[in-house]
């Protein structure tokens, strides 16, 4: 399963990309607004940090303007994936951009019917929003199961299921069990995935026992670069 980061925060992307676990990035207009960054500059910088697909969303609502915006965004870097909304105009733009050879992510998907249309329109990714479905009392994971089943029945579809609007680790695990191709994770969800109290406890015990031996593996301490997050609390406490 591929992990994308769902953020436009460069510091977070740099920090987590250093783990080698980040396969791409997704942004949307709300995330760009939250970052306070210039959209084009932010996308360019993210593309320099991450080799995989970086989604940048159009904001026009008619197909011709979406295509023009999409071509402008695609010219920023070869790994830009143009994000279009799941509307009739969005899917028209999807087809044209896909025919240009541009990667397209169809976003704001809330039904299996919509996912079927996006695959027929040549989308590289379909983004079902599981958290927002859960928010209204529906079942986001049921939608992922339906889309995975439908796409599996038609091997000619190359569209990858990109689970979006992820709110917690269980969304990721359930999506992985269903065989979804990608999950786009808010940074705090990826950080949470590292954590288990028994890992912290076990590591603290190993280090305490090792200290008693008085041994060192290396004679000199190597220069270290540790992640500036909570993934390794025991190591930092030790």
Contacts (CB under 6 A) with ligand G3P, residues 103-132: 129, 131-132
Residue 184 binding ligand G3P, by CB under 6 A: yes
Closest CB to ligand G3P among 64 and 142? 142
User: CA-CA distance, 112 to 91, in Å (whole number)?
Assistant: 15
Q: Measured from the CB of residue 83, what is the shortest distance to ligand G3P in angstroms? A: 8
Q: Measured from the CB of residue 203, what is the shortest distance to ligand G3P in angstroms? A: 32
Q: Is 108 left (phi over 0), alpha (psi -120 to 50) or beta?
A: left
| Residue with token string 């991450």 | 50
In the bound state, the residue with its beta carbon closest to ligand G3P is 165
Residue 28 binding ligand G3P, by CB under 6 A: yes
Compute how many residues bind ligand G3P; rule: CB under 6 A.
9
83 catalytic residue (yes or no): yes
Buried b or exposed e, range 84-108, using 16+ CB within 10 angstroms = bbbbebbbbbbbbbbeeebbbbbbb
Q: Measured from the CB of residue 167, what is the shortest distance to ligand G3P in angstroms? A: 7
Of the listed 34, 83, 92, 201, which one is catalytic? 83
Residue 4 binding ligand G3P, by CB under 6 A: no
Residue 6 binding ligand G3P, by CB under 6 A: yes
Query: Is the sign of the CA dihedral 100, 58, 48, 179 positive or negative?
Result: negative
Residue 89 binding ligand G3P, by CB under 6 A: no
Query: Is the sign of the CA dihedral 186, 178, 21, 210 positive or negative?
Result: positive
Six-digit token pair at 66? 């979406």
User: 64: Cβ–Cβ under 8 A, 6 or more apart, which residues?
Assistant: none
Closest CB to ligand G3P among 6 and 45? 6
CB 60 within 8 A of CB 66: yes
Catalytic residues, which ones? 83
Residues contributing to the site for ligand G3P (CB under 6 A): 6, 26, 28, 129, 131-132, 164-165, 184
């Amino acid at each position: 399963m591929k992990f994308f980061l769902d953020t436009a925060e460069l510091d977070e992307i740099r920090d987590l990309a250093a783990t080698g676990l980040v396969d791409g990035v997704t942004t949307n207009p709300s995330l760009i607004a939250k970052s306070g960054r210039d959209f084009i500059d932010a996308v360019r910088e993210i593309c320099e940090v991450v080799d995989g697909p970086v989604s940048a969303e159009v904001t026009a609502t008619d197909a011709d303007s979406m295509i023009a915006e999409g071509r402008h965004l695609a010219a920023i870097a070869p790994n830009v994936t143009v994000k279009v909304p799941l509307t009739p105009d969005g899917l028209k733009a999807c087809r044209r951009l896909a025919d240009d050879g541009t990667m397209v992510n169809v976003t704001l998907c809330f039904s299996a019917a919509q996912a079927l249309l996006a695959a027929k329109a040549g989308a590289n990714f379909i983004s079902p929003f599981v958290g927002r479905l859960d928010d209204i009392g529906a079942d986001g994971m049921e939608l992922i199961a339906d889309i995975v089943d439908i796409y599996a029945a038609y091997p000619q579809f190359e569209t990858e299921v990109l689970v979006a609007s992820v709110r917690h680790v269980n969304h990721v695990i359930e999506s992985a069990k269903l065989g979804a191709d990608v999950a786009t994770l808010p940074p705090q969800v990826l950080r949470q995935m590292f954590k288990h109290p028994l890992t912290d406890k076990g590591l603290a015990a190993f280090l305490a026992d090792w200290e008693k031996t008085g041994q060192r593996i290396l004679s000199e301490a190597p220069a270290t670069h540790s992640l500036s997050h909570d993934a390794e609390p025991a190591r930092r406490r030790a």
